Amino acid sequence: MHKVSKDNIIYAMSAQNKPALHAEPKAQIQFETWDALHGQVKSADKGFEGLDWTRVNPATGPVYINGAQAGDILSVKIEKIETEKTGVVICGKGMGVLGFALQGSATKIINIENDVAHFSENIKLPVNNMIGVIGVAPKSDEISCGVPDSHGGNMDCKEIREGATVLLPVNVPGALLALGDLHAVMADGEIGVSGLEVAGRVTVTVDILKNQDWPLPMIINDSHVMTIASNEDLDKAVDMAVANMTAYLTQTEGFTAHDAVMLCSMAADVRICQVVDPKKTVRVEFPKKYLSDEIL
């Protein structure tokens, strides 16, 4: 198994980034990651005010996948997510959905034990380890690791977890895969601008899909196929994600556009991944049981 240490970090996804590793298709790779705050917050007395914002949302990598060419699809199966036993959650003035109503900032250091995050003496939250940032080099200009777009990036989708496969577009030779920003606990929306931010390790298996023109990014797990879209306008992100799902169904299942829309209206759930990044992210979840063939 290949390993990429957290010494190899980037703050923007770009075709100009030097690969930290070259790997073959079907290789297993372990990424060691910082938390989203790059380890800057270690106690509850430090809030947003003291952060170095140039060091926020680091991603580990990138990894060059040999044989990946522009137009291919990069398949990234999430095999395992291991997180540290302590994480941080933070909110404050000007941050997140209710930042306008808050004064100053507040920080909690939260311990994790036996897959439970101890928010308080009475509130204990089940761990749902997931990856906030995962993406490849975009087609043209670099994109900050804090921003989601068609290349992936900071999608903050809680379904990007163990057992799921993320499908990303290959825009440049080698794809240049990078990931980070792990959360031990995060709800849809991430309304306060952070989940339970943790450092950790992610093990993935990479592969290349050729001669497929699917609307990306996508996620596949045991029960659903999902399309993801990001836009500054939440309504537009919804429109894009729904259009991508109906396009996928008409392309792969042979449905008419009308049938795809009617079926999605009855069977596909539209969910918000996050509403706090520069672009908001939406996913559409379609049950695999209504598909004629396995997607992978």
Domain boundaries, the chain: 2-39+48-83+127-209, 218-290
**What band does 54 get if pLDDT is binned at 50, 70 and 90?**
confident
Angstrom distances, CA of residue 191 to CA of 43, 92, 186, 202, 203: 22, 11, 10, 25, 28
**What band does 14 get if pLDDT is binned at 50, 70 and 90?**
very high
Percent of the chain whose predicted confidence (pLDDT) is above 70:
100
Which pTM was predicted? 0.96
Show the tokens assigned to 90. Answer: 């933070």
Which residue blocks in the chain are alpha helix, DSSP H? 234-253, 257-267
Higher pLDDT, 65 or 105: 65
User: SS3 for 84?
Assistant: coil
Higher pLDDT, 41 or 271: 271
Q: Which amino acid is at 146?
A: G
* Among the listed residues 289, 13, 287, the one whose alpha carbon sits nearest the alpha carbon of residue 150: 13
**53-57, 76-80, 182-186, 267-271: which has the minimum mean pLDDT?**
53-57
Class of domain 2-39+48-83+127-209: mainly beta
Element (H, E) at 226: strand 224-231
Determine the average pLDDT of the residues in 36-56: 83
pLDDT score at 242? 98
Measured CA to CA, the distance from residue 163 to residue 80 in angstroms comes to: 8
Angstrom distances, CA of residue 61 to CA of 65, 166, 234: 12, 17, 30
Conformation bin of residue 273: beta by default, left when phi > 0, alpha when psi is -120 to 50: alpha
* Residue 215 dihedral angles phi and psi, to the nearest 5°: -80, 115
pLDDT in tens, 118-157: 999 999 999 999 999 999 999 989 999 999 999 999 999 9
Please tell me the CATH code under which domain 218-290 is placed: 3.10.28.20
Q: In this model, does residue 91 exceed pLDDT 80?
A: yes
pLDDT score at 53? 77
